[in-house]
Amino acid sequence: MCGIVGYIGSLDSQSPAEILIQGLKRLEYRGYDSAGIALLNKDEIYTCREIGKVKGLEDKWLAAENTVNYQVGIAHTRWATHGKPTEENAHPHRDSSGKIAIVHNGIIENYQSLKKHLVNAGHEFYSETDSEVLAKLIGYHYKGDLLQAVTDALNQVHGTYGLVVACKDEPNKLIAARKGSPIVIGMSDKSSIIASDVSAIVSHTKHVIYLDDDDLAVITPGNVDILDLNHRQVSREVQELDWDTDSTQKDGYEHFMLKEIFEQPEAINNSIRGRYNLSIGNAILSGLSGVDKELASISQIIILGCGTSMHAGMVAEYAIEELAGIPVKVMQAADFRYRNPIVGPNDLVIAISQSGETADTLAAVKEAKQKGAFVIGLCNVVGSSIAREAGRGVYLHAGPEISVASTKAFTCQVSVLLLLALKLGRSRRLSLAQGVEVAQAIKSIPAINQLLLDKQFNHIATIAPAYTQAHSMFFLGRGYLYPVALEGALKLKEISYIHAEGYHAAELKHGPIALLEEGTPIVALLNDIEGKDKMLGNVEECKARGARILGIITEGDTQAAEICDDVIEIPSSHKLSTVLSTTIALQLFSYQVAKLKGCEIDQPRNLAKSVTVE
Ligand code: F6R
């Protein structure tokens, strides 16, 4: 949550302010309550902060017509944790002398006691934030050596931080530090750019260093020294990014969400390419090579994630139990972490996270490892905290997901999890012929999804207007389509603000059916796979109570079409592929409804892309 950018150096083509604001725009999906920038040289620190989106900050900066030559700057886009989204609470925050400015992600847990101590020492506070306390604490320790002051302050802090610090008296360097909140440093000849994720860096350089927890970095133009908190040198590998700048642009689409929906056939192809073998009916996951013995001995699988990633895990629960016969439990990562989970050496724990930075999932991974489980990560962002903490796993290769509402990450997660289910199945109970059938189904996913996009995009736009006025909508599914119903409801509520719930269709009669009124919309996942007959009955029950039915049906299924008010037809395919094309249809439906309602699709209110606080 929140985006950080820092820059030091000289690029003839762009000023530091332009670079920082451009970086913030790339990171805006991480938080958009307020934004701010601090620029400095040896004479002054100039700060500019504004409530709301980065565009507001940019306009304010341009209106100021500041022509001073700065070479260093830090900037931040905020998702509020401590204190409302006001200008006072916006970063960068400054120390009492006004010489030092910081941008901070994370939470300083003991900020109240530190604040009391600083107030007693005569410091005055202008904001309600824990970050200002950290700025003042660094200033309190500053005696002409910024690195030492940051170190002394961090030694007093409990909590998490991704931090960049600038000081007017030492304008030739920036100090960065990390604990629990990511910091990446991009290196080029004459400049260095620091950010909370690589989206802000990729247009400047492909060479990056990821800080580890408890690392401190002293950054000068084109150079970085990394130290531990005792100032011992540590070495971190320079990695090469395989993202290109285009993948973080809208490419002519009106929204990132739409672009990412349409990218899915290609993204899934990238996720599964080279990872299945039709002739042996098996999956080849190089991230799991050499661990067949460990996988053979597992007796239970626990899948951890939050939100959409947890829903992907729920699809995998069906697939792994069916194909491999291993019991699977899916747990919300925070729930796992705080319940003293029963997990041990014979358990495989799969942590799913697009960003690889979700605080609860990361903490759950640590808990599972500590209890001796065999842990693997399923992340999209290479080098992310969860990927590194898990130590082994499978990357999605879905490319950057910028829209706050997750789309392609889900379908790529499910595709990779199906490969894993196939691998586990083949080592246990699936025959060669069965393995080949599953591998073929996985192979078919991108083409079926392309067919769905080609055939249904315009049609879905024509049915969406009938649903924009709904107060509440219910998504019903059974079996593999139950998690899809949950995911469909999540997508609708987060981007259109229509109250939406997903239910197992069998659960309806146990309470939720009381909510149905004349015209209440029901999205019924009536695809022609197991459970369809029962679904037809459930839909009749809803109709009898006046509900309006939007059926997601298999192409040409007249029996299902007849009982629906509107239908979206899904190309006929293997059920494992149907799960994904049905999800994509629901993503398009949510998108069209939200667009008609004039919602901020890529940046829904109150949300941020990576939830790096508990
Ligand atoms: C919903 C959405 C969230 C994320 C969740 C976990 O569209 O994006 O529910 O799925 O915050 O994020 P990751 O996968 O980054 O751990």
Per-residue pLDDT at 245 = 63
Q: What distance in angstroms lies between residue 404's CA and the mean position of ligand 1's atoms?
A: 8
Is residue 403 in contact with ligand 1, taking CB distance under 6 Å? no
Q: What percentage of residues in the chain have a pLDDT greater than 90?
A: 85
**Mean pLDDT over residues 415-441, rounded?**
97
| Contact residues for 123 (Cβ-Cβ < 8 A; gap 6+) | 96, 136, 139, 140
* Alpha helices (H) along 515-574: 532-543, 558-562
**Mean pLDDT over residues 561-565, rounded?**
98
Whether the per-residue pLDDT at 351 is higher than 70: the answer is yes
What tokens were used for 211? Answer: 């800080």
Say if residues 304 and 364 touch (Cβ distance below 8 Å): yes
Q: pLDDT digit string (tens) for 189-238? A: 889 999 998 889 988 899 999 999 999 999 999 889 999 999 999 999 99
Is residue 307 in contact with ligand 1, taking CB distance under 6 Å? yes
CA separation for the pair 214, 234 (Å, rounded): 11
Q: Is 48 a catalytic residue?
A: no
Lowest mean pLDDT among 57-71, 269-283, 313-327, 509-523: 57-71
Is residue 355 in contact with ligand 1, taking CB distance under 6 Å? yes
* Alpha helices (H) along 464-531: 481-496
Per-residue pLDDT at 241 = 82
3-state secondary structure of 76: strand
Closest listed residue to residue 220, CA positions, set 190, 195, 241? 190
Per-residue pLDDT at 189 = 85
Domain 3-241, CATH class in plain words: alpha beta
Is residue 613 in contact with ligand 1, taking CB distance under 6 Å? no
Closest listed residue to residue 518, CA positions, set 451, 566, 470, 587? 470
**Predicted confidence band at 529 (pLDDT cuts at 50, 70, 90)?**
very high
Say if residues 78 and 90 touch (Cβ distance below 8 Å): yes
CA separation for the pair 556, 571 (Å, rounded): 9
Domain range 256-597, its CATH number among 3.30.540.10, 3.30.1180.20, 3.40.50.10490, 3.30.420.40: 3.40.50.10490
Lowest mean pLDDT among 20-24, 83-87, 593-597: 83-87
CA separation for the pair 92, 96 (Å, rounded): 13
**Predicted confidence band at 240 (pLDDT cuts at 50, 70, 90)?**
confident
pTM above 0.85, yes or no: yes
* Alpha helices (H) along 65-181: 111-120, 130-141, 146-156
Per-residue pLDDT at 84 = 86
CA 65 to chain centre: 36
**Mean pLDDT over residues 497-513, rounded?**
96
Q: What distance in angstroms lies between residue 1's CA and the mean position of ligand 1's atoms?
A: 12
Q: Is 2 a catalytic residue?
A: yes
Q: What distance in angstroms lies between residue 355's CA and the mean position of ligand 1's atoms?
A: 8
Per-residue pLDDT at 213 = 92
Say if residues 163 and 134 touch (Cβ distance below 8 Å): yes
**Predicted confidence band at 32 (pLDDT cuts at 50, 70, 90)?**
confident
Lowest mean pLDDT among 163-167, 207-211, 330-334: 207-211
**Mean pLDDT over residues 512-529, rounded?**
96
**Mean pLDDT over residues 464-488, rounded?**
98
Q: Torsion angle, CA of 82/86/88/94, rounded to 10 degrees? A: 60
Ligand 1 atom closest to the Cα of residue 305 is 16
What average pLDDT is seen over the chain? Answer: 94
Q: What distance in angstroms lies between residue 509's CA and the mean position of ligand 1's atoms?
A: 30
In a mutational test of the pocket of ligand 1, which residue from 79, 332, 358, 612 has the highest number of ligand atoms less than 8 Å from its CB? 358
**Predicted confidence band at 384 (pLDDT cuts at 50, 70, 90)?**
confident
Is residue 129 in contact with ligand 1, taking CB distance under 6 Å? no
Whether the per-residue pLDDT at 247 is higher than 80: the answer is no
Per-residue pLDDT at 12 = 60
Task: Please give the biggest Cα pair distance in the chain.
Answer: 79
Say if residues 429 and 467 touch (Cβ distance below 8 Å): no
Ligand 1 atom closest to the Cα of residue 405 is 7
Burial category of 606 from C-beta neighbours within 10 Å (exposed 0-12, middle 13-18, buried 19 and up): exposed
What tokens were used for 526? Answer: 């009536």
Lowest mean pLDDT among 155-169, 522-536, 599-613: 599-613
- The amino acid sitting at 514 is A
CA separation for the pair 521, 524 (Å, rounded): 9
Domain ranges of the chain: 3-241, 256-597
Ligand 1 atom closest to the Cα of residue 310 is 10
In a mutational test of the pocket of ligand 1, which residue from 196, 396, 611, 612 has the highest number of ligand atoms less than 8 Å from its CB? 611
470 half-sphere exposure, CB direction, 13 A CA radius: 32
Q: pLDDT digit string (tens) for 535-551? A: 999 999 999 999 999 99
Our CA angle for 431, 395, 442, nearest 5°, is: 35
**Mean pLDDT over residues 569-577, rounded?**
98
